[in-house]
């Protein structure tokens, strides 16, 4: 009986009441979200900065501080804050050692792996014009197989001095960075794949190559601009 | 007083044992299978879900008298989505590594049927305090469910517990346990175990009944 009455009353809810309730709920919820956003904003920004720094320091162990730059599509580069990246520009990090000297350049790259895009960060050293370290930004490769790219010593040894010289015109890499079958590495620009995780190894090579081909021709001619910490 | 506290306790225990969302109601299987690759992930997913559950049941219950029946689902979803967003920010503030590990499953708490189910079936009909107690019980039950999967999968699949290595370097991880099939294996084993417990209990009851 009671339920019937309740139902009757509910069926004839005027539109205004519904709008009032929805408006009230939205207002309360809006306040809660804004509050949560404000409360956590600083901590989240800090965390993101620390995560980026850590990723850069991992691939360039000499680094003590970083600055974020973008290489512009037309050539040249500019320093950016936390704002938006201009369209077509490629983001990279200049890392400086304790004395404020350029310790290297770190950039991200991505290529299709076995399960999803493997996003890596690599460190580039201008003196030897080579890749000196890699770290994984994100991947969904099979645990125990594809994720060996993080732990396999022989594989990581590829990235102590991986050749990434530019050609004479400074327009592209002199030799494409390429992953080759396990045990068949003969040149310093080749990456020896992990046997059993060839697809993931190849993704790492392709990610470095694609990113370096775009980025390095823009950065290397203008290296002086990065030398001093600003 | 005494009566209400016992009732409150029963209400709380309901979600942990009798109506455990994971093992009895088999609800919320999506995060259960997906994020339980490690104990830490399972625990944080459980706690996040529990917080969302408690907060949204509280608010749903407070609004129950001004919520017209026609728009109730919309109201519930807006409320749940709000608290999910808040938890999402909180996790980003606590640890980005954890945030990446849990991935889209934080946002997907919005459509977790446990929460909408609690809001509709319990919070909308009860005052805030009992509603939140019930929600806390369900949340705890869900956390326990996730944790019992996460612990087993981490120990078997990685040889660690909460990141601490258990067996030393010679341990060869049983990798399939941290892959998706492992989730089904472990869940199945737990369900089997609880079904066996239940059956044993009923047999015992039957035996005592016969003896009497």
The pLDDT of residue B52: 95
In a domain, B17, yes or no: yes
Q: What is the mean pLDDT of chain A?
A: 83
pLDDT tops 80 at residue A38: yes
pLDDT of residue B132: 93
- Count CB neighbours of A29 within 10 A: 20
Question: Are B119 and B59 a contacting pair, CB within 8 Å?
Answer: no
Tell me if B204 is assigned to some domain: yes
Tell me whether A144 touches chain B (CB under 8 Å): yes
In a domain, B137, yes or no: yes
In a domain, B135, yes or no: yes
Number of C-beta neighbours around residue A175 at 10 A = 15
Report yes or no on B81 lying in a domain.
Answer: yes
Is residue B169 in a domain?
no
**For residue B84, what is the DSSP state?**
H
Residues of B in Cβ contact (< 8 Å) with A11: 69
Nearest C-alpha of chain B: how many angstroms from A143?
Answer: 7
Per-residue model confidence (pLDDT) at position B193: 93
Between CA B137 and CA B9 the distance in angstroms is: 9
Q: Helices marked H in chain B — which ranges?
A: 2-16, 29-34, 39-62, 72-94, 96-102, 113-121, 128-158, 180-211
Residue A225 binned pLDDT confidence (cut-offs 50, 70, 90): confident
Looking at the domain assignment, is residue B168 inside a domain?
no
Give the distance from residue B46's alpha carbon to the nearest chain A alpha carbon, in angstroms. 20
- Residue A230, pLDDT > 70, answer no
- Best CA proximity match to B187, nearest among B31, B41, B49: B31
pLDDT at residue A83, rounded to an integer: 55
Q: Is B79 in CB contact (< 8 Å) with chain A?
A: yes
Q: Give strand pairing partners of A77.
A: A71
CB B154 within 8 Å of CB B173:
no
For A65, the 3-state DSSP assignment is: strand
Across the range A183-194, mean pLDDT stands at 87
Q: Looking at per-residue confidence, does A137 or B88 come out higher?
A: B88
- Region A190-210 average pLDDT: 90
Which residue stretches of chain B have pLDDT < 50? 1-3
Q: What is the pLDDT of residues A54-72, one digit of tens each?
A: 888 888 888 888 888 887 7
Q: Is any Cβ of chain A less than 8 angstroms from the Cβ of B160?
A: no
Flag if A17 and B74 touch (Cβ within 8 Å).
no
Q: Cβ contacts (< 8 Å) between B63 and chain A: which residues?
A: 21, 24-25
Percent of chain A topping pLDDT 70? 88
Looking at the structure of chain B, the number of domains it has is: 1
Q: Which two tokens stand for residue A88?
A: 């077509």
Chain B hits for A147, Cβ within 8 Å: none
Domain housing B44: 3-163+174-211
Considering Cα of A215, then A218, then A224, then A230, what sign does the dihedral take? negative
Domain presence at residue B88: yes
Nearest by CB: B175 against A36, A47, A144: A144
Residue B77's nearest CA partner among B91, B61, B56, B49 is B56
Whole-model pTM: value is 0.77
Which residue of chain A is at minimal alpha-carbon distance from B95?
A47
DSSP-based three-state secondary structure for A191? strand
């Amino acid at each position: 009986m009671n339920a019937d009455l309740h139902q009757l009353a509910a069926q004839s809810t005027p539109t205004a009441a519904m709008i009032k309730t929805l408006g009230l709920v939205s207002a309360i919820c809006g306040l809660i979200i804004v509050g949560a956003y404000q409360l956590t904003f600083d901590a989240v920004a800090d965390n993101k900065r620390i995560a980026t720094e850590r990723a850069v320091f991992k691939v360039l162990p000499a680094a003590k501080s970083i600055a974020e730059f973008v290489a512009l599509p037309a050539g040249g580069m500019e320093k950016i804050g936390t704002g938006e990246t201009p369209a077509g520009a490629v983001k990279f990090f200049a890392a400086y050692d304790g004395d404020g000297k350029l310790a290297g350049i770190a950039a991200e790259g991505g290529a299709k792996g076995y399960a999803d895009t493997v996003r890596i960060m690599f460190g580039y050293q201008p003196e030897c014009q080579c890749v000196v370290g890699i770290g994984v930004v994100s991947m969904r490769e099979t645990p125990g197989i594809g994720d060996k790219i993080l732990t396999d010593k022989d594989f990581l040894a590829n990235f102590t001095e991986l050749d990434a010289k530019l050609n004479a015109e400074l327009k592209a890499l002199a030799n494409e960075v390429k992953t080759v079958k396990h045990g068949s590495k003969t040149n310093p620009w080749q990456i020896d794949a992990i046997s059993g995780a060839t697809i993931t190894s190849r993704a790492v090579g392709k990610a470095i190559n694609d990113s370096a081909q775009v980025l390095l021709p823009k950065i290397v001619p203008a290296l002086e601009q990065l030398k001093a910490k600003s | 007083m005494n009566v209400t506290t016992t009732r409150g306790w029963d209400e709380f225990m309901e979600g942990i044992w009798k109506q455990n969302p994971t093992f009895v109601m088999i609800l919320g299987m999506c995060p259960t299978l997906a994020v339980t690759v490690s104990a830490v992930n399972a625990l944080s997913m459980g706690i996040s879900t529990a917080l969302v559950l408690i907060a949204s049941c509280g608010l749903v219950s407070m609004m129950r008298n001004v919520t017209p029946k026609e728009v109730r689902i919309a109201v519930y979803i807006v409320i749940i989505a709000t608290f999910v967003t808040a938890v999402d920010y909180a996790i980003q503030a606590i640890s980005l590594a954890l945030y990446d590990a849990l991935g889209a499953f934080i946002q997907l708490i919005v459509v977790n049927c446990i929460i909408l189910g609690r809001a509709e079936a319990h919070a909308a009909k009860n005052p805030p305090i009992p509603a939140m107690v019930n929600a806390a019980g369900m949340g705890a039950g869900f956390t326990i469910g996730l944790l019992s999967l996460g612990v087993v999968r981490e120990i078997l699949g990685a040889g660690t517990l909460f990141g601490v290595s258990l067996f030393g370097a010679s341990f060869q991880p049983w990798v399939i346990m941290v892959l998706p099939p492992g989730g089904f294996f472990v869940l199945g084993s737990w369900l089997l175990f609880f079904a066996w417990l239940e059956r044993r209990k009923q047999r015992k009851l039957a035996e005592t009944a016969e003896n009497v």
